[in-house]
Structure 1
């Protein structure tokens, strides 16, 4: 899909066309993207490490692959989409050649699809857990199969990028761009291609997630009315476990952040696909702000997970304590050398040094 990269040069230049430049708004976009890149990389790596090797490994066996896959998809967005966008805005035109043009555009769409499809898997897992709790025995195998389908479908849907995008040099100008110009004979074909990915990236996931959580909330509301809002019943006698409800709340917030962050970006894309001239009448900073806002979703997922998961917060505390201990260990030889020097100093100088050091009692 197009939309996040600088505008491409047309196949034939016209007197009205001017090569894009690295404007002030683009610089702000690059700075914001790089800041989000650092935060998203550290936070999602922390989630992945916690789930694989930390306290997060204590999560239910069928939930661990979901959280790990969501963090992996966010990391793919972080290490592909964000750096690509930042560097591309700084260079304005494309210098990486035809092969990287195809590969990076493919990886970009693959990352976007995987992030959306894994949210679908999370929603389906919560749907089965709440509405069909007796099926939880095979939840682990079912989730692994759904995740495999999500990743493979993402690869399949992103593969056309390898044939559509290529490095194009503008006629009569020293300007090269990675674009899809010339891949479609008619403009409606390009619009149909973009609309297809709009459906697979946004509309279809939104419909599935709305159906799943709508049914869940309807059942919970019905149980509350049936029991006079005193308890939520999974069956005739058993209450819905608190941990399951907590996971449900976390899933709903994660899905909500996806909708909030990506909706403005896709609405702008639809407007552009059907009314290309709108780009001349829309301030440049609007496009940059909406793209940066969509990338904020990659940072929201680990924050939401940390808010609802005490094991992840405990792992962060342990990591910070380990860093402090390591730093203290690096400083300890210096402290020992200082103590030896003071032991060799005259008595009056030693007393003065101790009295001026607020931490002298620890030596």
Structure 2
């Protein structure tokens, strides 16, 4: 079982270990079972490598396109740049860590790297969720208060600062609870939380707290934003139908087409977040309250749900590209520029 279930949502590979001798300062570890690099884990590593390549290329392209593009509203650029940056953190931190951890089974990175990578992992996951909330709040304000566009840039900058700061704060406990634990009796080292909690309910409470901020709170905030937007559009439509002039536009047309297109894009991004991460967190909740579920559910189910959750990192650039023709044009221009650069030296010869 992988150790990349957000916080301590599930044990890392080979976490179930034999009680080490002379460990009076920490509670005993459960009965040890020899871990191995199974066929399911091998498939997971291969699929993670494919996701890594696609997510890295697509999100870097998104970063370049948004930074150079001119069609996207100026106040939206920091939002999309932040989302791409959070996805790149997931790509370059979580995915390689998970793949390496499954290959080696135990932890070889030392105590400092154990703490740092577990912190960065949770920081990236929080940032990705919170930035989607900021995008949802921006869309809500743009639809409900269209005349207040002049303050959008400053408002979004403040919300982004809050999102990154809150992600940093909520991920900081990882630096304290995770550490490299060595079991001398079996010559096995793992990056885990063993000994950080005196009772299991404390670890469960910590997991539930992080789950609430990682998934529940962002989901409620985004649901509230888009519910208010839909209610506003519905009321606009009702007012239009009751209007005096039959030449008035429909309720949907009251909102400019460009704004509606951006709204649809962000709605699809939120739905992608929910669809990809919900099964993953449901399995995590099951594990918190019934650790024996590891022996009930097939191993490939755990691996598949992890991969499915991180598929969300690849979805954001695809969704942005589908709704933004300039992104596709930027990619085409970049490819043409590279082909010209390669052909220039040949022509000079």
Q: Shared fold (TM-score greater than 0.5)?
A: yes
Q: Does 1:41 align with 2:56?
A: yes
* Residue among 217, 238, 252 paired with 2:230: 217
Ranges in structure 2 where 5+ consecutive residues have no aligned partner: 1-6, 21-28, 243-247
Partners of 1:224 and 1:231 within 8 A in 2: no
Q: Alpha-carbon deviations, 1:144-191, whole Å to 9, x = none?
A: 000000000000000000000000012521110000011000000000
Q: Give how far 1:221 is off.
A: 2.0
Whole-Å Cα distance in 2 between the matches of residues 155 and 45 of structure 1?
Answer: 23
Residue number in structure 2 paired with 1:113: 126
Q: How does 1:245-264 map to 2 (within 5 A)?
A: 245-264=260-279
Partners of 2:19 and 2:31 within 8 A in 1: no
TM-score, normalisation: structure 1:
0.87
SS of alignment partner, residue 185 of structure 2: coil
Q: Alpha-carbon deviations, 1:113-136, whole Å to 9, x = none?
A: 000000000000001010122222
Partners of 1:93 and 1:177 within 8 A in 2: yes
Residue number in structure 1 paired with 2:26: none
Partners of 1:127 and 1:213 within 8 A in 2: yes
Partners of 2:277 and 2:309 within 8 A in 1: yes
Q: Alpha-carbon deviations, 1:1-57, whole Å to 9, x = none?
A: 1237424144616895312111110010001011100110111111111111x2x24
Residue number in structure 1 paired with 2:25: none
Q: Give how far 1:89 is off.
A: 0.5
Q: Does 1:92 align with 2:105?
A: yes
* Residue among 209, 212, 229 paired with 1:196: 209
Partners of 2:18 and 2:186 within 8 A in 1: no
Q: Alpha-carbon deviations, 1:269-305, whole Å to 9, x = none?
A: 0000000001111100000000000110000000000
Residue number in structure 1 paired with 2:256: 241
Partners of 1:4 and 1:85 within 8 A in 2: no
C-alpha change, 1:169 and 1:232, in structure 2 (3 Å) is farther
Residue number in structure 2 paired with 1:151: 164
The alignment of Structure 1 onto Structure 2 pairs a total of residues equal to: 329
Ranges in structure 1 where 5+ consecutive residues have no aligned partner: 337-363
SS of alignment partner, residue 180 of structure 2: strand
Partners of 1:9 and 1:177 within 8 A in 2: no
TM-score, normalisation: structure 2:
0.90
More moved, 178-187 vs 5-14: 5-14
Residue number in structure 2 paired with 1:231: 249
- TM-align CA RMSD: 1.9
Whole-Å Cα distance in 1 between the matches of residues 262 and 11 of structure 2?
Answer: 33
Residue number in structure 2 paired with 1:359: none
